[in-house]
Amino acid sequence: MSFARAIVEDERPVPSRTQRHGAWRDVDTGVALKRLALVTDAWLPQTNGVVITLCRLVKHLESQGTEVLVISPDGHRTIPCPSYPEIRVACDPWKAIGRIRAFEPDAVHVATEGPLGFSTIAWLRLRGLRFTTSFHTRYPEYLSARFPVPLEWGYELVRWFHRKAEHTLVSSISLLRELQQKQVGRQLVHWPRGVDSDCFRPDRRRGDVYELPGPIWLYVGRVAIEKTLEDFLALPLPGTKVVVGDGPAREDLQRRFPGVVWRGYRFGEDLAAHFASADCFVFPSRTETFGNVILEALASGLPVASVPAPGPIDLIEEGVNGAIDDDLFEACQRALPVCRERARASIVRRTLRAGHDVFRAHLVPLRPQTPFVLPKVAKVASAF
């Protein structure tokens, strides 16, 4: 069955759950919201910032009494993502619609611009139902980096994806303003990210983590073309460069930069020790939407050197917790001597709970949308 046919044939009404007492309430209607369907093409066993953010969110919502159905590639027939075989994508995304209907959610949030996300939004739009979205990844830039696809084509897809969402949640103010200019989304909301400062902290520092010539210049994240990791690895820095993470570009980069230490994926206290035991965190990506690893580095007392990008621009204060410069080498030189205690202090107020509360407050009940007349000026809501 084709996706279009699956949507058109499903014309049964969506059950109402307005009588259920919920864990939170929509401020406009007072409707109780207790069941959430979260649609994401990025989920376990993938390891990236989107998956980490959503896993923490689900854990928090469930701890508050919210029942969450995660619609992910798990449970679907999948194929490897072209150019990124570690990621598998659903090749029968229309089947998610039946799972959502059977769950009878009070609200639907669509997190990613993948097959599951696009198919769910097509169904929601066809039925005139309300929903929310979030912007995690520069889909147009990543598409253009891998295939001969014009950037504007990608943004047309992204505009369609977010156009009917009641709220589109965005991780940084800088990115929110950029999306406003590109006319992506009609109600943009700042969804601040938090950090587990109990896990990532300076006292995780250990001398036996590296036992390498210092200073230790650390990168943590995916090893993929869009991360422009080569810009970091080619720098003439003293000491040792260490990469924690993996991805499709690792084999080529490891061959070209034999002096770099590659540690693969690390998790939990082991990852926290790798952060705290380094001397400077280097963030070379120019296509980032936020960078959760920056928060984890700062919480570990690790100053950050970065190029200008949404996320780093909002998080890094020159001389306080790191440095930003178009010349990454210059940023590294200025970030290295930054006080570790001040780096830690700069982000302690960014709690996970605050970000989760912003997400919950902007969900909307799954009822037919009111007629759409003209887009309003994008709304900016922030917990900080």
Taking alpha carbons only, the member of 106, 178, 136, 169 closest to residue 355 is: 169
CB 187 within 8 A of CB 166: yes
Q: Is residue 379 part of a domain?
A: no
Looking at the structure, tell me whether residues 186 and 206 fall in a common domain.
no
Q: Is residue 378 part of a domain?
A: no
Cα(68)–Cα(300) distance, integer angstroms:
31
Q: Is residue 382 part of a domain?
A: no
Q: Is residue 107 part of a domain?
A: yes
Cα(71)–Cα(37) distance, integer angstroms:
7
Looking at the structure, tell me whether residues 278 and 220 fall in a common domain.
yes
pLDDT score at 12? 40
Cα(107)–Cα(37) distance, integer angstroms:
6
Looking at the structure, tell me whether residues 97 and 152 fall in a common domain.
yes
Please tell me whether the peptide bond between 202 and the residue prior to it is cis, using omega within 30 degrees of 0: no
CATH number of the domain that 29 lies in?
3.40.50.2000
Q: Is residue 381 part of a domain?
A: no
What element of type H or E holds 293? helix 292-299
pLDDT score at 340? 97
Angle between helices 151-163 and 139-146 (to 10 degrees): 150
What element of type H or E holds 139? helix 139-146
pLDDT score at 365? 95
Looking at the structure, tell me whether residues 177 and 220 fall in a common domain.
no
Looking at the structure, tell me whether residues 190 and 102 fall in a common domain.
yes
- Looking at the structure of the chain, the number of domains it has is 2
Please tell me whether the peptide bond between 45 and the residue prior to it is cis, using omega within 30 degrees of 0: yes
Looking at the structure, tell me whether residues 219 and 145 fall in a common domain.
no
- Write out the chain's pLDDT in tens, 384 residues: 333 333 333 434 444 333 333 344 544 444 467 999 999 999 999 888 899 999 999 999 999 999 999 999 988 998 888 777 778 899 999 999 999 999 999 999 999 999 999 999 999 999 999 999 999 888 777 777 677 778 888 899 999 999 999 999 999 898 999 999 999 999 999 999 999 999 999 999 999 999 999 999 999 999 988 899 999 999 999 999 999 999 999 999 999 999 999 999 999 999 999 999 999 999 999 887 788 999 999 999 999 999 998 889 999 999 999 999 999 999 999 999 999 999 999 998 888 999 999 999 999 999 875 544 434 434 444 443
Burial label, 345 (beta-carbon count in 10 A; 0-12, 13-18, 19+): middle
Q: Is residue 376 part of a domain?
A: no
The rounded radius of gyration (Å) of the Cα atoms in the chain is 21
Tokens linked to 382: 């922030």
Q: Is residue 375 part of a domain?
A: no
The vertex-266 CA angle with 58 and 307, nearest 5°, equals 85
Cα separation values, 125 from 59, 122, 149, Å: 29, 5, 26
Q: Is residue 84 part of a domain?
A: yes
Cα(89)–Cα(331) distance, integer angstroms:
37
Looking at the structure, tell me whether residues 55 and 182 fall in a common domain.
yes
Q: Are strands 322-324 and 304-306 parallel, antiparallel or unpaired?
A: parallel
Looking at the structure, tell me whether residues 189 and 243 fall in a common domain.
no
Looking at the structure, tell me whether residues 17 and 107 fall in a common domain.
yes
Looking at the structure, tell me whether residues 143 and 28 fall in a common domain.
yes
Cα separation values, 17 from 263, 307, 360, Å: 49, 47, 17
Per the structure, the complete domain to which residue 227 belongs is given by 202-345
Q: What letter represents residue 62's amino acid?
A: E
Looking at the structure, tell me whether residues 9 and 51 fall in a common domain.
yes
Looking at the structure, tell me whether residues 152 and 236 fall in a common domain.
no
Query: How many CA atoms lie less than 13 Å away from 383 in the CB half-sphere?
Result: 21
- The model carries a pTM of 0.78
